[in-house]
């Protein structure tokens, strides 16, 4: 890729500081561009700035006294949805791809930043600026590895594009929001997905080999609301592995340090978020954060069916027990794990309560990770909303 010249007003970095976040770098791609000169302000792991950026993007910061906003960020609407005619080969029903295609074909944007796969490896991400529906469809299915989505920023500026849709996860979007007024765009649309526990390509291989029955033929996988990891294989078959049966001892260090220190599971700075974590099984969860997000959702209203979100059950006991189990790297016998999964799926948290369960579990784990490994960063790095969520639980002292 040809890099643009550094921005004249940017402060130069010291030599040999290509990855200023060091071990916490999420490989978002910003440091592969001339925009690296803004990284000390823009990087989510060098400068946590949710309040300022939420106000910049949404017109206000989240209301910490509102349980929904404490957990899910600024939003004006929330629902469950699925496509009436699913896209073949999509990970779910294809809502994200359909929004991107409609935005492009109806002239709302001139390009879509999305992630295809390397022709040599389906799990190696290749960010592109898609300009046709075919290029967008080629990017369907999540890639669970660290992805340098922002490495195309110089190309955006050089191309002269003025209206752009960017699809990305929290760390990428925070960096993008911090530099968005320097790219020369007339209009930026951000379609986000919830994100947690990405890995390097080597880490992904270890996870697949430790967990899957056929690591070489996995098409995609997802941690789902029924407390199972769902693996989809090339032959169309699926495999369900209970959360509680994962080999925690082997997998505890497989996730990227950036993901273990992230508190933006719900992609708070996107205009529109599409995921599964707050929806019932078989439905996707949509969060409209602002009018730009509503504009994107309006493009596909004729392609989807919707229904209200639900919230059932109580997550707190399961979260508290999970803190100790994870910290001690406990792994249950598979038959016990399957039995627990069946019971919890029937009586456990559902809908938004499942989403809170997932957020609580990850935030407590990540808080402990930062406290133990980067204690000097703890107070500044952990946002206030995450501190309030973590404070509900008793954490190990060490």
pLDDT digits (tens, 9 = 90+) for 283-303: 999 999 999 999 999 999 999
| Phi/psi at 351 (5° precision) | 65, -130
Per-range mean pLDDT, top range of 136-145, 189-198, 286-295: 286-295
- pLDDT value of residue 4: 34
Collect all residues with Cβ–Cβ distance below 8 Å to 89 and sequence separation of at least 6. Answer: 140, 141
| Phi/psi at 226 (5° precision) | -90, 15
d(CA 338, CA 328): 20
- pLDDT value of residue 6: 38
Which residue in this structure is represented by tokens 């954060």? 289
d(CA 111, CA 197): 28
- pLDDT value of residue 31: 95
| Phi/psi at 285 (5° precision) | -105, 125
- pLDDT value of residue 247: 78
- pLDDT value of residue 10: 39
Closest CA to 82 of 280, 357, 229: 280
d(CA 154, CA 157): 5
Scored b (16 or more CB within 10 A) or e, 254-279 reads bbbbbbbbbbbbbbbbbbbbbbbbbb
Q: Where are the domains of the chain?
A: 22-197+263-310
* Average pLDDT value over all residues in the chain: 89
What are the tens digits of pLDDT across the range 35-83?
999 999 999 999 999 999 999 999 999 999 999 999 999 999 999 999 9
Q: What percent of the chain has pLDDT over 70?
A: 92
Q: What are the E-state strand segments in the chain?
A: 77-83, 111-118, 121-130, 163-168, 187-192, 218-223, 228-233, 238-242, 272-275, 284-288, 304-307, 311-312, 350-351
What are the tens digits of pLDDT across the range 227-265?
888 999 999 999 998 877 777 777 777 889 999 999 999
Whether 17 shows a pLDDT value over 70: the answer reads: no
């Amino acid at each position: 890729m040809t890099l643009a010249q550094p921005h004249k007003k940017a402060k130069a970095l010291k030599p040999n500081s290509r990855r200023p976040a060091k071990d916490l770098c999420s490989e978002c791609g910003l440091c592969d561009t001339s925009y690296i000169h803004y990284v000390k302000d823009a990087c989510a792991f060098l400068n946590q700035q949710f309040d300022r950026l939420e106000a910049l993007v949404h017109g206000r910061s989240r209301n910490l006294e509102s349980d929904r906003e404490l957990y899910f960020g600024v939003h004006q609407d929330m629902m469950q949805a699925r496509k009436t005619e699913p896209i073949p080969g999509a990970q779910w029903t294809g809502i994200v791809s359909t929004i991107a295609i409609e935005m492009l074909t109806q002239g709302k944007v001139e390009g879509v930043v999305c992630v295809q796969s390397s022709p040599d490896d389906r799990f190696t991400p290749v960010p592109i600026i898609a300009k046709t529906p075919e290029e967008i469809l080629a990017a369907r299915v999540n890639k669970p590895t660290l992805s340098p989505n922002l490495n195309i920023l110089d190309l955006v500026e050089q191309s002269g594009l003025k209206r752009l849709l960017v699809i990305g996860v929290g760390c990428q979007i925070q960096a993008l929001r911090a530099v968005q007024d320097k790219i020369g765009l007339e209009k930026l649309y951000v379609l986000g997905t919830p994100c947690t526990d990405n890995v390097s390509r080597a880490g992904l291989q270890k996870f697949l080999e430790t967990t899957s029955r056929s690591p070489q033929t996995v098409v995609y996988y997802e941690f789902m609301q029924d407390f199972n990891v769902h693996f989809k294989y090339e032959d169309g078959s699926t495999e369900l592995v209970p959360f509680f049966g994962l080999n925690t001892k082997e997998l505890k260090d497989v996730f990227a340090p950036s993901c273990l220190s992230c508190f933006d599971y719900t992609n708070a700075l996107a205009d529109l978020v599409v995921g599964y974590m707050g929806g019932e099984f078989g439905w996707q969860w949509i969060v409209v954060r602002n009018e730009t997000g509503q504009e994107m959702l309006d493009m596909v209203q004729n392609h989807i069916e919707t229904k209200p979100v639900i919230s059932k059950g109580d997550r707190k006991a399961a979260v508290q027990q999970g803190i100790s189990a994870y910290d001690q790297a406990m792994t249950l016998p598979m038959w016990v794990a399957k039995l627990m999964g069946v019971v919890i799926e029937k009586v456990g948290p559902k809908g938004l309560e499942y989403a809170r369960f997932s957020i609580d579990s990850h935030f407590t784990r990540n808080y402990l990770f930062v406290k133990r490994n980067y204690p000097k960063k703890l107070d500044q790095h952990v946002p206030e909303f995450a501190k309030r969520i973590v404070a509900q639980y008793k954490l190990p002292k060490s």
